[in-house]
Structure formats: structure tokens, C-alpha cells
A and B are shown apart, each in its own frame.
Chain A
Amino acid sequence: MALFAEEHSIPMTHILSFQLNGAPVQALVKPSDSLLDVLREKLDVTSPKRGCDSGDCGACTVLLEGKAVRACLTCALTVENKQVVTVEGLSQDGKLQPLQEAFMAHGGSQCGYCTSGMLISATALLAKSPHPQRQDIAQEMSGNLCRCGCYEEITQAILDTARKGE
């Protein structure tokens, strides 16, 4: 059976344009592609990790218009003309952000698989509430899993960044 789209000559691909880390990008995408597919497979941006591909682990978290979203659950076509930021876009002029420095100082990373998602979620958290309490951090970050168990170190890094930002 032919697909509905084929039968009606509806194009199966679309040239998607959006801003990635401040620069305009384009990619040929299918309607079924997720933002994660586009970032990893089409644009070679591999910092968002495909941990579970079902929104459970948080390793693919990116900023979409400043909000932390799961790239694996975001339909690529919905980011048309929007701003997407991955961990590559956090540093400015080759200088790490205070949050990234704090992750290093406190040891907020072991194998590193969850780290880019953690950094993005923590960036969104600090943008929303610059002075979070321990409990806020636990709540906001609970969607990001870390099997090495760096939760304590990451919590300390976020608290430290918030303290220094005052």
C-alpha cells in the first residue's frame, strides 16, 4: 500500500532551518525525525546523547528557546526558525561558563555520558531560579539520570555557581 503522502505527491522531506548555538543551520529532514536525529545524524553535533530515546534519561537535553527539552521527544519540524543550544554553545569565545568550571572543580562528571544533558538542565535551572535550594535542584534535575552517581557533586557545583553569581 502506498503511503498517503506518496499518493498525493506530498514531499517526504523538508529543508529545516533553525539557529544552532547562534549560527543558522539547515538540514534535510523527514517528518518523523526527532531533533536528536537531526543534531546527531545530520549535523554531526554529538553532545546530546541517545541514552534511552524515550525521554527517560535526560542525556539528550538541549535548550529550545531557552527552555530545557528532550531532543529525542522533540519533533524536528517544530524547531523551524527557533534557537537551539547544545553544550557546544555554552562556552563563550573559547571560555568555559562558571557552571562548567564548577562541574570540573567539584567532579560533576565521571564517564561523561550524562554530562552535556546535566549542564543544559542546570543552565536552564539557573536561568529560571538563580538561587536554588538543594531541594529545587533535586526536583529540577531529577529527569537527568547518572549511573556513575555524580548527583552530590553536581548539586554542589550548581550551588557553588549560584553562590558565586551573587
Chain B
Amino acid sequence: MKKTGVGMCLVLHPTGRKGGGDPSQAIIQLKPDGSLFLKVGAVDLGQGALTMLRQVAAEAMDVDIATVYASNRSDDLAPLSAGSAASRVTLVDPHAVMEAAKDLRAKIAAFAAHRLEIDVENVELADGKAFAKDNPHHHMTFADIGMIANLGEGVILVGTGAWQPAPVQGHDPETGYLDQESVISFGCCVAEVAVDTDTGEVEVTKLVQVWEVGKAINPLMVKQQINGGLQIGMGFALRENLFPHYPDPAHGIESLADYSMPTFMDYPPELIHGIEEVPHPMGVKGAKGFSEGSATAPGPAIISAIHDAVGVWIHEVPATPEVVLRALDAKEHGGATDYWSHQDRSAWLA
């Protein structure tokens, strides 16, 4: 018999590290063709760090994003970044890019002032051009500036930027006050499941996940991260297990064929994502990180939905069909509404 249930999970996800020693650096160079070369240390595993930082650089320099190239190749060559961890890149690295853009803007303005023979205070940079504030027709494009600087006058125009959040101090011994440890992102996940009480299979039929991200610099990538986190969270809750037939280690996972990660077939037929924006004072444009949190939310939501459906709290993941059946069995025979399978396992091992 199939029983349905609904469960919910709320997540407070700390993003960024405020214990100190969390540097970000960026370098932007004006190339001879007027394009910009952005070097950062943030690692991009596919989550879109480089795209997001290019967006920040393009907006700060007021140029088309198509003219901004970015690289994070090799730790030996890239500027420092504390790395893609703690959901920190969106919170911390854009500050370094903003600083580098500010530096490069000042250098381009000084160069343009010299070439246009006007005061540097009179130079305005906008839309990929440098022009005189009092006479916008008197202008040079970034391509002109890049060409003349690099190939004509033999100078290099590079902006550098570095940023590091101030470390949190220890708590005040008088009052016990402690600064917020880090920036918090807020998430909510609601799952609707159908539990087959004969086979123990749990099907996620609908899933809604909403995140408050400060400011979505790239809403498409935020959506991808929310829906991608679902895949990781759902695998964590229902499927992925290195030792599915514990206690015999011989049944451990040896290849991808045995490792049961979710596929197209496991995705909920109804999947809804939501993005909320409440700008945070620490982030550039109010943006903060959240992505790792989106992988943690579906697990508890699905487990509590199973409780709603069949009245058993399963205290371990993954809740595979075997675990669900044993939990239902324990409830039927002893009335237990909480289930840990290691109770059974110790019986097997005895």
C-alpha cells in the first residue's frame, strides 16, 4: 500500500569564514584589444564562480561581459583565494574584484587624461570608453587605450585588489557578547513522498526548495545550485551508501554501477525552486553564499515526510527500502516509533 506524507526542513547555513586568514585577491589587466583579463584564485568546480566574478568585473568596469576573460588556472599562477569552501566565494571574492576594478579604473583614467590632455578629475569611464565629463565627444575607447598603452607607449595597465573579512574577536567576558560567527543564509525545503509499505520504497513526488541568498548575482546559476543540491540531498536521504549490505564489507561499493546515485528516474515529477533576496551588508550588492546548504535541506525534509506517511522516525540515512521495511516491522511488532538499524545490526553480529 502506498502512503503519502509531507515533511519540512529549515536550514540556517553559515557562509564564509570569519576566523581570520581568509584572503581573496584579484588582478585585472587591460589587453591591447580593449578586453579585460581577470585573474582570480577562486576554484570553479562547475558552480559558476568564474562567471559570477566576470559579471562583477564587467559591471564594475562598465563593459560588456563578453569582453571579460577570466582565469583561475593553477595555484602557482593565480592570485590567492582561500578556496571554494564554506560557501564563501560569492561572499568574499567579489570584494577583491571590486578593489581590482577600482584600481584599474584609476590607472585607465590617468592614462586617458594624459592622452586626451585633460585633468584626470575631468575623466569619466563608462560603457567601455574614457571621456571628458564636460565634453563627452572628446573620448577614447578601451580598445584605443589598450592598443596605445600596450603597443604604443609600452606600459601595462593592471589593477590589483585584495580583501579579507575582519576576524571575529573572542567573546566579551563581561557580557558574553559574541559577534555573529559568519553570514547566515536561510533555506526551506518541503518534500512530499509516497512510501510503499510492501516494498519499503520511498518516492519523492514533489519537492519545493526556497533559499534566501541576499542577492542572486546570476539567478540561473542559483536555480541550478538549488536543484543540484536536491540531487545530492536526495541521494544522501534515500540511496547513496558505500556499505549497503553492512556488516559484510565484501559487499562494499566497487564501481559506479553499484553506487546508487539519483538519476533522471528519481527526480520528483514536480520540482519547484524559489529565490528570496534580502541584501546582506557584508556582500557585494548584498550577495551571500548558500549552495552547500541546498544539499543539506532535502534529507531532513524527506525523512520527516516519511514519518508523516508511516509514523516512524528513521534516525539514519540513507533510508533505503531495507531500512524502511525494518522500521515498519519494528513498529508493527513492538510499537517502536523510532528506528536505528544498528540495533538490528548488533543482533546480526552477535
Give residues in A with beta carbon < 8 Å to B. Answer: 51-52, 54-57, 107, 110-113, 134, 137-139, 141-155
Contact = CB atoms under 8 A, between A and B. Distances in A.
A155 B271 CA distance: 11
A151 B267 contact: yes
Interface of B: 45-48, 220-221, 223-224, 227-232, 255-257, 261-265, 267, 269, 271
B207 to A, nearest CB: 10
26 contacts: A52-B255, A54-B256, A55-B257, A57-B256, A107-B224, A110-B48, A111-B46, A113-B46, A134-B269, A137-B264, A138-B264, A138-B265, A141-B264, A142-B265, A143-B263, A145-B261, A145-B263, A146-B231, A147-B231, A148-B228, A149-B228, A151-B227, A151-B231, A151-B263, A153-B224, A155-B264
Contacts of B48: 110
Chain A interface mostly helix, strand, loop or mixed?
Answer: loop
A152 B267 contact: yes
Contacts of A152: 227, 267, 271
A150 B228 contact: yes
Contacts of B224: 107, 110, 148-150, 153
A134 B269 CA distance: 8
A148 B261 contact: no
Contacts of A149: 224, 227-232, 262
B182 to A, nearest CB: 25
Given A149-B232, A155-B267, 7 more contacts: A52-B256, A56-B256, A107-B224, A110-B46, A111-B45, A142-B264, A150-B224
A164 B35 CA distance: 36
A51 B256 contact: yes
A151 B264 contact: yes
User: What are the 5 A-B residue pairs with the smallest beta carbon separation, nearest first?
Assistant: A111-B46, A149-B231, A149-B228, A110-B46, A56-B256
A108 to B, nearest CB: 9
B191 to A, nearest CB: 15
A54 B259 CA distance: 13
Contacts of B232: 149
Nearest to A57: B256
B269 A145 contact: no
A19 to B, nearest CB: 30
Contacts of A142: 263-265
A78 B296 CA distance: 46
Contact of B267 (A56, A138, A148): A138
Given A111-B45, A138-B267, A152-B271, A56 B255 contact: yes
Contacts of A111: 45-46
Nearest to B228: A149
